[in-house]
Amino acid sequence: MRKGNALVVGATGITGGNLASYLNASGWTVYGLSRRATEQSGVIPVTADLLDRKATEKALAELPITHVFYCTWIKRDSEKENVKANGAMMQNLLDALQDKNIQHVSLVTGTKQYLGSFESYGSGKVETPFRESAPRVPGDNFYYALEDTLFAAAERDGFSWNVHRPHTVIGYAVGNAMNMGTTLAVYASICKKTGQPFTFPGSQIQWNALTDLTDALVLARQMEWAATTPGAHNEAFNTVNGDIFRWRRMWQEIGEFFELEVAECPEAPKPLEEQMKDSAGVWQQIAEKHDLAEPDVDKLASWWHSDADLGREQECVNDVTKMRDFGFDHFRETRAAFFDLFTRLRAERLIP
């Protein structure tokens, strides 16, 4: 018996792609909405640009959706433009679904809820560990626009909702703009090819402070649990693995996985975007030598996003008490999440 009809918005991304696979395996009928059609087995592709209101209405007109899982965003040149574009995307989607008796909508945002937008990263004064009850950070933030649009539509249409706030998501995806795990695997592979030491690109604070991350499957499990547990409805939840670590140890362990010399952490950050600006040719050589499936390094690595995460000048730890109090106790060792991803990337011939 199928559990429901799920619309996964952003089905080709790291969050949406892993969620769509999980829901399909768990007994849902899954429609995967994206700008380019998803090719996932068992997921029914739906294509539309959410910025196009009429195209969105047309794409969704005949679909028997019961649950919506919103896992997408679009990057613009300023946060004001991010607010405008991302708010319009969600508004267009929810308006197109207005008369379909949607039961529940789940929204994925993240820890910029507490840290501030890319433009004012780290400007907030929210204490760690971050709690869901913390006030919003002053300034433009498209996460807040998405929440406000969701809350207004829920009041209008009568559906329940959840907001999920993962930290950086570790999981399998290709061509994703926020993919630290694959980015570090590509960086490590280039270090091995060139003989350069595996050097942490971020700040001393990130090197030494405690932090946490989110495995894509933990996020998928929490989203299904919250959407199908009435007592958890209409709540925001931090979504992290449940363990904490320091990069100074994790970096050494990742280096050992790839059999690399690990350098001392530099006094000042050495951003990957600068280090890897001429990496396209090197990666092409690696791809040819090892018969890899993707010779374009820019389709695998998101240097800028990993730099933003690893270059923070403040501690970043999320409180998971609330999700446990509400009954979600699934956890994942972050080191294992990295190693399992690296192993799959090798199996899929995406890294040597």
Cβ-Cβ contacts under 8 Å for 312 (sequence gap 6 or more)? 115, 121, 122, 202, 203, 205, 206
Cα–Cα distance between 29 and 166 in angstroms, integer? 25
What string of pLDDT tens digits covers the 352 residues of the chain?
Answer: 678 999 999 999 999 999 999 999 999 999 999 999 888 999 999 999 999 999 999 999 999 999 999 999 999 999 999 999 999 999 999 999 999 999 999 999 999 999 988 777 666 678 899 999 999 998 899 999 999 999 999 999 999 999 999 999 999 988 776 789 999 999 999 999 999 999 999 999 999 999 999 999 999 999 999 999 999 999 999 999 999 999 999 999 999 999 999 999 999 999 999 999 999 999 999 999 999 999 999 999 999 999 989 998 889 999 999 999 999 999 999 999 999 999 999 999 999 9
Which two tokens mark 176? 């994703």
| Per-residue model confidence (pLDDT) at position 259 | 97
Query: Measured between alpha carbons, how far is residue 318 from residues 201, 242, 293 in Å?
Result: 23, 9, 36
CB 6 within 8 A of CB 28: yes
Residue in 248, 257, 261, 166 with CA at minimum distance from that of residue 207: 248
* Residues 161 and 233 sit within 8 Å (Cβ to Cβ): yes
Task: Please provide the DSSP assignment of 160-184 as one string.
Answer: EEEEEEESSEE---SS-SS-HHHHH
d(CA 66, CA 89): 19
Distances (CA, A) of 315 to 213, 296, 331: 13, 34, 21
Token pair belonging to 322: 């609330």
Report the 10 Å Cβ neighbour count for 106.
Answer: 24
Q: Residue 264 and residue 198: Cα distance in Å, rounded?
A: 9
| Cβ neighbours around 74 below 10 Å, total | 17
CB neighbourhood size of 311 (10 A): 18
For residue 237, list its beta bridge partners: 164
Six-digit token string for 344: 């799959």
pLDDT of the residue at 124: 60
Antiparallel, parallel or unpaired: β 5-9 and 29-34 = parallel
Residues annotated as catalytic are: 112, 143
pLDDT score at 1: 63
